[in-house]
Every structure is written in structure tokens, then in C-alpha cells.
A and B are shown apart, each in its own frame.
Chain A
Amino acid sequence: MKRLFLLGLVLLATATTYAGGYRVSLQGQRGLAMGHTGVAVVNNAELAFFNPAGLVFLENKINVAVGASAVFSDVVWQNEEFGQTARTDSPVGTPFYAYFSYKLSEKFSVGLAAYTPYGSSVAWEKDWAGSHLVNDIELAAIYVQALASYKITDNLSVGGGPIYVNGSVNFNRNLNRTLTDLEGNRSNVTIDASGVSAWGWSAGAMWRPIDSLTIGVNYRSEILVEAEGGDADFENIPNSPLTPFSDTQFDATLPLPAELTIGASYQLNDQWLFAFDYNRTFWDVYDSLDVDWANPNIPDSNNPRNYKDASIYRFGLQYTANETFVLRAGYYFDESPVQSGYFAPETPRNDSNNFTGGLTVNVTDKVAIDASFLYSRFEEIEESYDYYTEPNPRTGASERVPFEGTYKSSAFVPGLGVTIKI
């Protein structure tokens, strides 16, 4: 009987999680305003992210672009079978970017970049119906990159550089659907790791066959953020040898997948510019999130994710009204990497249609203000996460207990930035 109990309480089966499709495409207000295109747009220092090969095509010697966005993103969930509803009350995310490039010669530029392409911030009501999967999560990864951009010929350049990543995660969920202490407080665990570093790289090429047409390709490598010795804090654990939980350390690896972008832009005339980007994000690497506890008595937590590679199609246009104002608009279709049955509520993302807009106000010759907004429209979706398991009370065998419901997400992201050209 004791054994059955241990199984029961401990196979905390489970669904840990860091995050689902946790790519955050907000790496430049000008690019974002045009559907987050930019692999083939020579505009400002945002190229440091979109395609470092293009930095050398910038006209000025010194180029700076900095900015930040405010992510207002929420999710509502309901389960009609049981009459349950829950909403996230997620904190406002604030991804940022800072790019700098310096032209050493007509053929050679160098640069520095800092940006946050991956992150997630989701907070459900504590102890909500899906709290055995996630109560709340904060995931952040800051990329810092040194760059070089070299013009091979007048119309062909390459660029790239090494990326240093500093990542952090804080994630809380209940240990299962029912375990509590004597007072009825749900037993839960918080895993926390910060200052986790990792390395990667990006490289791109840009070709301008004719003055009005630019073609670009950019690849950013996969980076595995390996948290080692993070803190695991178990709370409200009943005082009993039948539960093995106590504060410990954990190891876990979170992949930040590689991304390939190809695209083109076309300058129709002095006013109009069109851009198209295609992204392929290699999410396939995110197979399972496995948390390995330092305490050997606590069974490791394996959480299948089974993401698949996903594509994004981006369209943007830019209208230069006059010397002061430039207007932009865009659209992109973002395919979710999450497969049916793996829809975990820590980042419940399905396919989305995204509408963007924005403008630049050239305050002086050297300084411009860039504003953008993004509205993400998600369809309502009936989905489930089928890989949380509980031991059958009769046999002790692992039973999959799907967590199902109707989800609807929304995101509205205003952003502001500054471009400086000297």
C-alpha cells in the first residue's frame, strides 16, 4: 500500500513547463510596423537583428536604434463539461532592443546588438483548474551580439557574429491535481534559475541585384539554455514520509530554436516600399521538457512538448509621406509550433493573424522617433494537453489525464523607439 501511495503522490507526472511557442517577434519598431519584415530592408540599425549583412549598406557612419514594447497579452479558458472559466492576469511584458553599428570603411561595418527574441510571461489564477500544469511562468532570454558586416561586391554583402545569451526562468505549478497540506493549501513547486548563459551565432547575406530590389537571407543558430543547479522550492507539502518532496536543486534544458529567414524588398518609387519575409523556426528541437531534481527521491519530471517546425509569412509596406513622416503597415501569419494534444496552458498559442502599423517621425536629420503597434488575432480553439499523467488508484499504472478546454488569446503590443544616424 505504501508503494502505491508513493507512486500516487510522486509520479508528479507532469507537466512542468517553461513555455510554449515562446518566440517574441518584437525586434525593432520599424520592422514590426511592417509585419516584422526586415531581412531585406535597409532602413536603420535594426538590421543588426534582421540581417547583419545589411549594416554595411547603411549610409551613415554611426547608426543607433533602441526601443521597447509593452506586451498586453491575455488568455481566457473555459471547460463546458465542468462549467469552469479562467483568465490569465499576466504582467505586462517589456521586450527591448538596442542596436549600434559603426562604418569602419565603405566595405566594412561593425556592430553591437542586444535584444530579447524569446520570452514568456503568463500568470493564471492561483490554483485554477489547470494549476497542475502551470500557475505562472516568467521566461526571459537576453541576446547580446557582436557583429561584422562586409561588402563583397557593391551589391552583395555578408554579416554575422557570435551571440551571448543570458536567460532566466521562474515557473510555478501545483504538484498534481489534489495534493494539499492539512489546511488544504495546494502543494506546489517553484523552479527558479537566472543568469544562465549560453552561446550561439547568426549570419546573413544581402544582395541588391538592382537599386530597387533587395534580397536577404539570415540564419540564427539554435541555442540550448542549460539551467544547472537552479532552485526548486516546494511549498505546502504535507508532513509525511509518503511524499518525497523537499527543496532541492534542478537541471533542465530549454532550447531556443534556430530561425531561418529569407525575404525581399522592393522600392517602387520614392514613396512606396514593399517587403516580404518568410521565417522558418526550427521548433522540432523542443521535444520534451525534462526537469532533473538533485534530490534522487523525487522522480524526474518529463513533459512531452513535441513541437514541430513552424513558418511565418510576413508582409509589410512603407509610405514615405514627406521628410518628417514615414508610415508603415504590415501583416503576418504566424503558424503555431504546438501540435494538437500538446496544447499546454503555459503559452497557449495557436495560429494567429497579426496586424501591424506604425510611423516614424524624423525630429531632426539625425534623430527619429519610431512607433509601432501589433495586434495579434487568435481564433478560438478547442484543445487539450494529453500528457499529464496520474497513477490509477486501483492499479498504480500511469493514466493520461487530458486537460481540455476552449482557449482564446489576444495580444496588443504598442512600442516606441529611437533611431539615431550620424
Chain B
Amino acid sequence: MKNYFKYIAILALGVVSCEPELENAIEDGEIYSNGQADFSNYVAVGNSLTAGYADGALYITGQENSYPNILAQKFAVTQQTDGFTQPLMNDNAGGLLLGGNQILQNRFVLAVGANGQPRPARYSGAAPTTDITNKLSGSFNNMGVPGAKSYHLVAPGYGNVAGVPAGLANPFYARFASSDNATVLADALAQDPTFFTLWIGNNDVLGYATSGGTGEFQLGNTDFTSYGENDITDPTAFSMVYGQIAGALAQTADGVLLTIPDVTSAPYFTTVPNNALVLDAATAAQLTGYFQAVAGVFAGGLMAQGVPAEQAQALASQYAIQFNEGPNRFLIDVPMSQANPLGFRQMTENELLLLTIDQAALAGGYGSVQLTQEVGEVLAILQAGGSPTPEQAQILFGAVSGIDDKDALDSEELQFIGQATNLFNDAIKANAETLGLGLVDVNTTLGQLKGQGIPFDGGVITSDFVTGGAFSLDGIHLTPRGYAVIANEIIAEINATYGSNVPKANVGSYGTVTLSQDVQ
């Protein structure tokens, strides 16, 4: 009997392999490789885009889907790594407190408004709980600091809580700076990274763009301390500071540099069309008539001051703006000048309106003309063949309600932005070349999103606001899905540059916008 049991036991042992095993298992580390790169200690340096900022705030699930965190997860299947730490926020509400007082707003969520249409709104379901006075201890692989410009990364004191109220320091960095005097770059280098990514420079032009170009292009001024928040960094100065950062990181580590996208590829600038002034035939004729009156009165005024008729009419003719039934471009305010004494004109084809423009005001005449009763009376006088008094002429001219500088990017502003972006990217590409690093041209990637879109297994990702899948509800930062697209671009570049085999992220399994009715 013993023998039988022995026999059974041997049989049983021979077949017991409860856990199924694959021949080429990822878990055995045989499929992928790090190539010449060493991902054991990856450090990501950058701004909000690196931090995983989305929906106008930084919050936990956004951070979990930051492109550096996605990359780190993929690196971990190619080799042993030390893990990837991030200065996680305290909640998913977003928003920041300083000593209990809220200093930054909660995130956006997609809510259905009173009119039944979905629209982004600030989440109010929970108060923020992340107080920047609660310093995090330890070092963090994700050194993405929302709001940071290139030169901020090397600015001592940028993480000093005491400097936050005065705008001298960054509230996000203040949470995890190693000391009051630390710099982002030094904190990154102190971790002895074996691999890094650097995506910085967006804010060197973005602040200008999101302000509607209210700042200055600091061309030729290399003194950062004299810059305002909404200024464009001098490209020469950018090149210097960028070289300093990239050079320091590349001393001991391999890495990838990312260019900065053309801001006009973000829905913040492309969602509100500049020709949304949709008119019926009667209103179009009325407006055309009004502007003929303006041109006529203005020419008359000039001639009364002794300007030759031909010259006066030539100057005034710019105000005889024609409106047609259907969509028309809005009017925009410009500085009064000799060439444009009244200080307004119609927008040109490529000029942009910002996402934050007051839509209700647009519907109420902002961007065209406020045809009040007073204006009507002046027009009636003109129609009757009378000539208006100077006061009446002022009433007539004053009815023009051009779009303010802060709500639009005009062609000169766009030219500054484009010029700066190109020069910044030239500097980034030159650094990649001289330092022998990988380069991802995010500018091209986001251009594709704006154009035909980028296909994925569930369709096409585009930069269309709310529905496109790439951009979060602030119109500037990406969704988890958008960040996954960036991660895949970086992976492709790493594989090409360092002979690695890092698997891609499955972009379709990354989410887009978050729904909630818990809004103000």
C-alpha cells in the first residue's frame, strides 16, 4: 500500500505547476532592454507639464499620469530601478493653501451648465487640503515645478515659503525644496540621476501668450531680475541658462530634451474663433452703415482741420468696414497711432482670441459696436444730411467696442511668440546635438494633434477642446491621454538614441476629462 501512495505522490509532483508560466515572460526581464541607457535613477526636470498639472491645478491622479511617471513604469520592465517618487498633492481637488488660506484655485471638472451644455467649471465638492507650509521630506524624482521658467530652475530661494506671498517664490516648489535657498537644478543633481528628461521653456513664452501679450518681449535684455511675469525671455539669455541646466544634468546622465510647442497649438488659443460675430443681413447692413458713417464723419473732421480731402479719405477709409450676413471677424482695439488714429481695426485671419474671453460680453456687442439709442440719434442726424457736433462725433466713435489686448493675440504678438519659440527651440536642439542627448520635438507632435490628429486604438486624438482627448479643461495642459502621447514620443526617441527596447504606453487606456456636477 505504501508503494501505491509513493507512486501517486510522484505522479502528483510531476504535474504540479499551478502557476502558469510564459516562455518569454516580461517578469523574467528577457523581453525588453535598457540598451546603453541606465534608468535606475530617472529624474524629470521641468514645469507644470512635467509635474502632471492638468485642469488648471495639480492633483494626485494628474500626477500619477504625468509623463515622467508613465515613463518610469515602462523603464521598470527593462531593468531594476530605484522607483520613482513624486511630490504628490494631498487630494484630488487641486488648489493650494498657505497657512490655511487658499492661494490657488481648485481644478476644473466638466459640468453641465444651466443651458444643458457641458462646460469646464471649478470643482467645489471638497476644499483643498494641500498646505504648502507642510514641507515634504525626502527627494523627488519628478522635479516638475508648475509655473517655472527656464531661469527659475537655477534661482536660489525659488522654493522659499516666505517668498511665496510676494511672488518671489513658487508655492509648488516650496512644498518639497530641500532648503529655503535650494535651486530646482541642484535638488535634481543631488539625486545623482542616471537618466533625465528636461522639458523647460514653455513658460518663458506662455505667460506672455496667456496674458494676451500684455507683457514685453525682453529681446536683448539678459537681466532676468528685471522681467515681469508676462514677459518673453530674451532668447540669448534663454540659450545661456538652458545650456547651463542641460549641461549640468548631462555631466553624469543620459537623457532626452524636449522642445517647446507653439502655443497656438493649444485649445486655449484656438477654441474661440475670431469670426464668431454671426450676423443676419439686416444687422450686417446696419453695422456697415454705421462704419460708413464713422469713416465719413472722421474724414469730415480731418478736412475741417485742413487735411487734404484725398488724404483724409484715404485715412478714413480703413474705418468703412464691410459686414456680411454670416460670420464676421471681431474688432480689436489697437494703440492709437498716426496710421490708425481711432485705435481699432477688424481682426485678421490668423489673430487669436483667448479661451478666457467673456462669452456673454461677446454676445452683447464686445468685439463689435454698442449701438445705443444715443448712437442711433447721431446716425439719424447723419442720415438726414446734418453734420454732428464734436461731442456727437465722439459718441459715434465711442460706440466701437474693440476686443482688449488681454483677450487676444494680435499679429505682432504672435510674431514675437513665434520668433521666441523658434529661437528657444534652436537652443534646445543645439544642446541636444552638442551634449549627445535625445531630442523630442514636441512642437511637431502637438502640431499633429492640432492638424489631422494622432490615431490610437480607439480613434483619433486631437487638440479639440474638451472632446479631442489631448488637452485638459484648462486648454493648455494635457490630459493623462495627452501625457501618454508625449511619453510614447520620448520612448521612441530613447529607443532610437540609446538602443533600448522600452515598451510603449497604451494611450487609449489613459483617461481624458473628469466629470462632476460638484461645482460653484
Contact = CB atoms under 8 A, between A and B. Distances in A.
Interface of A: 1-2, 4-5, 9, 72, 74-76, 78-85, 87, 129, 177-180, 182-184, 238-243, 324-325, 327, 355, 357, 359, 371, 373, 375, 378, 380, 390-395, 397, 399, 401-402, 406, 408-410, 412, 414
B118 A5 contact: yes
Interface stretch (B109-117, B251-259, B282-290): B109-117
B118 A2 contact: yes
Contacts of B24: 80
A58 to B, nearest CB: 26
10 contacts: A9-B515, A82-B504, A83-B74, A178-B508, A184-B64, A359-B8, A392-B460, A393-B458, A393-B467, A394-B453
A199 to B, nearest CB: 37
B92 A183 contact: yes
A82 B61 contact: no
A178 B453 contact: no
A128 to B, nearest CB: 11
Interface stretch (B11-19, B385-393, B417-425): B11-19
B61 to A, nearest CB: 4
Nearest to A325: B4
A392 B458 contact: yes
B184 to A, nearest CB: 27
Nearest to A72: B18
A404 to B, nearest CB: 10
Contacts, number: 163
B18 A412 contact: yes
Contacts of A183: 61, 92
A290 B456 CA distance: 28
Interface string B53-89: 0000000110010000000001001000000000000
B469 to A, nearest CB: 5
A76 B21 contact: yes
Contacts of A393: 458-462, 467-469, 512
Contact of A410 (B17, B32, B517): B17
Contact of B511 (A178, A375, A410, A414): A178
B15 A355 contact: yes
Contact of B466 (A1, A75, A80, A177): A1
Contacts of A4: 467
B20 to A, nearest CB: 4
A242 B12 CA distance: 55
Contacts of B11: 357, 373
B505 interface: yes
Contacts of B502: 83
A2 to B, nearest CB: 6
Nearest to B60: A184
Interface string B501-515: 011111011111011
A75 B20 contact: yes
Contact of B506 (A76, A129, A239, A242): A129
Contact of A392 (B117, B123, B459, B505): B459
Contacts of A408: 20-22
B339 interface: no
A5 B467 CA distance: 8
Q: Do most interface residues of chain B lie in helix, strand or loop, or is the interface mixed?
A: loop
Nearest to B16: A412
B511 A395 contact: no
Contact of A240 (B21, B77, B517): B517
B304 interface: no
A401 B458 contact: yes
B223 interface: no
A348 B224 CA distance: 62
Given A241-B517, A325-B4, A390-B458, A1 B467 contact: yes
B381 interface: no
Contact of B19 (A74, A177, A241): A74
B113 to A, nearest CB: 10
B310 interface: no
A242 B60 contact: no
Given A357-B8, A394-B464, 13 more contacts: A72-B18, A74-B20, A78-B27, A81-B503, A82-B503, A83-B77, A180-B511, A240-B110, A325-B4, A380-B23, A390-B508, A394-B460, A414-B12
A395 B459 contact: yes
Closest A-B pairs by Cβ, 9 of them: A392-B459, A83-B503, A240-B515, A184-B61, A178-B511, A375-B15, A410-B20, A238-B515, A83-B77
B236 to A, nearest CB: 42
Interface in B461-520: 461-462, 464, 466-469, 481, 502-506, 508-512, 514-518
A182 B109 contact: yes
A216 B511 CA distance: 57
A422 to B, nearest CB: 25
A231 to B, nearest CB: 25
B517 A239 contact: yes
B433 to A, nearest CB: 30
Interface in B110-162: 110-112, 116-118, 123, 125
B281 to A, nearest CB: 29
A406 B462 CA distance: 31
Contacts of A412: 15-18
B514 A238 contact: yes
Nearest to A376: B15
B26 A83 contact: yes
A85 B467 CA distance: 31
Interface string B225-237: 0000000000000
Contacts of A397: 459
Given A238-B514, A240-B110, A410 B18 contact: yes
A246 to B, nearest CB: 14
Contacts of A371: 8
Contacts of B1: 324-325
B166 interface: no
B503 A401 contact: no
B457 interface: yes
Contacts of B112: 2, 240-242
Contact of B516 (A240, A324, A414): A240
Given A179-B511, A395-B459, A409-B20, A238 B516 contact: yes
A357 B8 CA distance: 9
Contacts of B384: none
A390 B92 contact: no
B25 interface: yes
Given A80-B26, A410-B19, A178 B510 contact: yes
B392 to A, nearest CB: 45
